[in-house]
Structure 1
Amino acid sequence: MIPSDLPRSVRSGEELDLIKLNAFLLANVPDVGTVQEVRQFAGGFSNLTYLLKTANQEYVLRRPPFGANIKGGHDMGREFRVLSLLTGHYDKIPKPVVYDETPDVLGAPFYIMTRVQGVILRASMAPTLSLAPERMRQLSEVLVDNLVAIHTLDIDATGLRQLGKPDGYVQRQVEGWIKRYRAAETDKIPAMDRTGTWLQENYPPEQAAAFLHNDYKFDNVLLELDKTTGEPIPLIKGVLDWEMATVGDPLMDVGATLAYWSEAGDSPAYRNFNLTWLPGNLTRQEVIARYAEKSGRDVSYILFYYVFGLYKNAVIAQQIYARWKQGHSQDARFGHLLPMIIELADKAADSIEREKV
């Protein structure tokens, strides 16, 4: 049996003001009803997610972490706009309900959406997960196929094109993440410097623009649960966490997925990123081949996108580690990120040297 992501009691210091919230709902979306209970989903390093229970339905509320720089990567309005644009064109999403751009109600902007029931396969489940290899393969195949489906959405008919500027997208991303790394650098990591230089010198030909999720992996996908066996079946109920969605080169999305896609031969630390190393899952090469077959896209330069995905993950970890090292965070987890940053950098540099994903 695999449990769904069960919400827990709200963490101390992260409570919601129910009086203000219910007054806001009554004034703006009275059909939602009165929130009678609030629980909180276990979070990573990103936005806070709450379960709201009314008399007849369950909703999910998303807001930035307390004390976060709202302009720096916690854009609730963007997430809400993405879901609104996808509504009617892509059915594997929660229904957006309401967005408040002010801090008046909860101290920060927030939005509410309907709850989609399902199970998320998280990396932490790997030690106890006992899915048959055949089922694991089916799940990884449907994960790839759904990414292809996302990339086939018409960015003009849906209005999604307004989310980004496709021309020059790859170069802007590379230059931007190199700049972020330099701003957050704490320790000299030669492999990061070599990788950044290689990326700047090896831009691939531009691909036709598509809609990108930008953080696509098992952790952000809700799967249907077989009520008899208690196991997930290869049917995606919903895709979550659209905060980084944009429009650009779709292979950047594939590269980001591959950068999380650990294999059995990878180090234990790298396998912590995902459970794709369990028996039956597609390998990274098989992911590339299936994506190419289903999408019809040229994946000749996939090494570049994979290396960038690794580099970007290293920079994200470096930014978190830098905040901890500077005393801006007391979370002990963040103080142990340096070995992972080095490993990601070495993996990127090694892939470049071997010319292999």
Structure 2
Amino acid sequence: MKDTIPVRGGEELHEERLRDYLQQHIATMPAGDLHIEQFPNGKSNLTYFLRVGEWEAVLRRPPFGPVPPKAHDMQREFTILQTIHPIFPIAPKPYLFSSDESLVGSPFFVMERRRGIVLDTEFPDEMIVTPTLCRQLSETMVDVLVQLHGLDYGHTKLATMSKPDGFMERQVHGWIGRYERAKTSDVTGTERLFQWMINHVPATSEATIIHYDYKLNNAMFSPDMKQMVGLFDWEMTTVGDPLADLGAAMGYWVLRDDPELLKSGLGKPPVTVHEGFMTRREFIEAYAVQSGRDVKHMQFYMTFAYFKLAVIVQQIYFRFKNGQTADNRFAHLDQMVISLMQYALQITEDSTVGGI
């Protein structure tokens, strides 16, 4: 199953200019023609596959058009990978960061290309999908998240790049502000949702490295599906509340009995709707057992996770609505925002709505 496509119209890179620059700055890159394709699934940052002969790499850059303040910070993500890769090899090795916007129209970075299987909405055609396989994938996702949260960040750059004290209070107020800046219409109940989150921030003193975009289609698995061999999209990574990371992961963990708009609002339902994948409750309980953490406040973390996801979708829709992107995949994301907001509100009233 091919994982790249020809570069979408309007998102092309200048091949010769980029090739010359990379050959000057990446010692392992050979001479020859640079071939560029695109990874199709991202709805935020743009990711390209670079190849010269047998040499391969991946380039990441922000989306075209204006972007929210502090979002899509390529230098920060590059620095995070420099910090994380040596102690967590599932993260890809970064090669180069450039702030020269004349090359691709924005700052960008280049990292190693990993080979394996990324699961999104379909399994590879040749794969025999069983409940046992789906359970195994669920367990691997739990295992790796617990492993990440167990890393010692004290001697890494993340210790100085992050401010774990007051993390969740800042998150709640920060994402409310992001929503207000990207709002295109009024959604019923948002003020009530905002106040509930502000009033229910759990008191916590623990902080770990958190990926904060931990989901199946950001992970790569070995061909036999027994190991995770890559974890991508470290843009949101910081040091903060590990249960916020767990909540965010569960916000993306879509199940077959979820509301239809949650399942298909961003396209085809993800593979987690297949029989055998852990329920959210099972995932959370498995995480609690392995990590030893108390998960009694997951109602808050799940509410916040769906709200945060709604804001991310709203930011994408804001760019479409204002003509900053012509990608028609985004034309009806406003309905997804409403659905996510309403779902978050329902969880504030009944945690079982979110399958917790």
User: In the alignment, does 2:29 pair up with 1:28?
Assistant: no
Q: CA deviation at 1:286?
A: 0.5
- Residue 280 of structure 2 is aligned to residue 284 of structure 1: yes
Would the alpha carbon gap of residues 269 and 130 (structure 1) be closer, same or farther in structure 2, given more than 3 Å must change? farther
Q: 1:186 to 1:99 in 2, by over 3 A?
A: closer
Contact 2:306–2:341 (CA under 8 A) maintained in structure 1: yes
**1:111 corresponds to which of 109, 112, 119:** 109
1-side partners of 2:9 and 2:325: how far apart?
17
CA distance in 1, matches of 2:278, 2:23: 48
Q: CA deviation at 1:47?
A: 1.5
Matched residue SS, 1:214: coil
Render the CA deviation track for 1:189-239: whole Å, top value 9, x for unaligned: 22322221100011101141111111000010001113xxxxxx1310000
Change (3 A) 1:248 1:116: same
- Counterpart among 11, 14, 19 of residue 14 in structure 1: 11
> 3-state SS of the aligned residue for 1:189?
coil
Which residue of structure 2 lines up, in the alignment, with residue 236 of structure 1?
A: 228
Contact 2:310–2:341 (CA<8 Å) still a contact in 1?
yes
Structure 1 residue aligned with 2:305: 309
Cα gap change, 1:281 to 1:353, in 2 (>3 Å): same
Q: Say if 1:327 and 1:115 are closer, same or farther in 2 by CA, change over 3 A.
A: closer
Whether the 8 Å CA contact 1:89–1:158 is kept in 2: the answer is no
- 1:48 pairs with 31, 46, 49, which one? 46
1:229 matched to which residue of 2?
none
Aligned pair partner of 2:193 in 185, 192, 195? 195
Taking the aligned partners of 1:129 and 1:314, their CA distance within structure 2 comes to 33
Find the residue that maps to 2:304 and give its secondary structure: helix
What count of residue pairs does the alignment treat as equivalent?
A: 348
In structure 2, what residue type is equivalent to 1:252?
A
Match of 1:142 in 2: 140
Structure 2 residue aligned with 1:122 = 120
Which sections of structure 2, spanning at least 5 residues, go unmatched? none
CA contact (8 A) 1:192 1:311 kept: no
- 8 Å CA contact retained: 2:256, 2:274: yes
| Within-5 A mapping of 1:224-263 | 224-226=222-224, 233-263=225-255
Report if aligned partners of 1:4, 1:120 keep a CA contact under 8 Å in 2.
no
If the length of structure 1 is used for normalisation, what is the TM-score? 0.91
Q: How far has the Cα of 1:59 moved from its partner?
A: 0.9
Query: Matched residue of 1:286: which SS?
Result: helix
- Greater shift after overlay, 254-263 or 347-356? 347-356
Q: What stretches of structure 1 of length at least 5 have no aligned partner?
A: 227-232
The 1:144–1:168 alpha-carbon spacing in structure 2 relative to 1, beyond 3 Å, is same
Counterpart CA distance in 1 for 2:197 and 2:166 is 14
Task: Provide, for residues 61-119 of structure 1, a one-character-per-residue CA deviation record: whole Å limited to 9, x for no partner.
Answer: 11122334385411111111111001221110221111112213222111111110011
Residues in 2 aligned to 1:16 and 1:187: alpha-carbon distance in whole angstroms = 34
Match of 2:351 in 1: 355
Alpha-carbon offset, residue 274 of structure 1:
3.2
Aligned residue identity for 2:198: Q
Which amino acid counterpart does residue 293 of structure 1 have in structure 2? V
Structure 1 residue 318 and structure 2 residue 314: aligned?
Answer: yes
Aligned residue for 1:30, secondary structure, equals coil
Q: For 1:239 and 1:322, how far apart are their aligned partners in 2? A: 28
Report the Cα offset of residue 163 of structure 1: 2.8
State the secondary structure of the residue aligned to 2:227. strand
Give the aligned partner of residue 163 of structure 1.
161
For 2:326 and 2:104, locate their aligned partners in 1 and report how far apart those are by CA, in whole Å. 24
Letter in 2 for 1:33: P
Deviations along 1:285-332, one digit per CA (max 9) or x if unpaired, are: 011101101111111111111100001111222223333334444333
- Measured in 2, the distance between the counterparts of 1:126 and 1:99 equals 33
How many angstroms does 1:127 deviate by? 11
- Residue 129 of structure 1 and its aligned partner are, at CA, apart by 8.0
Contact 1:270/1:340, CA 8 A, preserved across alignment = yes
For the aligned residues, what is the CA RMSD?
2.2
2:60 matched to which residue of 1?
62
Partner of 2:216: 218
- Give 1:269's aligned amino acid: L
Cα 1:104–1:215 shift into 2, 3 Å: same
Secondary structure of 1:324's match?
helix
Alignment match, 2:290: 294
Deviation of residue 34 (structure 1)?
A: 2.9
Corresponding position of 2:327: 331
SS of 2:272 mapped into structure 1: coil
1:141 Cα deviation from its structure 2 partner: 1.0
Q: Partners of 2:316 and 2:15 in 1: how far apart? A: 31
Amino acid in structure 2 at the alignment position of 1:83: L
Cα contact 1:48–1:62 (8 A) shared by 2: yes
- Alpha-carbon offset, residue 13 of structure 1: 2.7
Cα pair 1:18 1:35 within 8 Å, conserved: no
Match of 2:262 in 1: 270
Shift of 1:35: 5.3
CA offset at residue 124 of structure 1?
5.3
User: Aligned partner of 1:305: which letter?
Assistant: Y
Helix, strand or coil for the counterpart of 2:104?
A: coil
Gap change, CA 1:32 and 1:191, over 3 Å in 2 = same
Identical positions, percent: 39
Residue of structure 1 equivalent to 2:175: 177
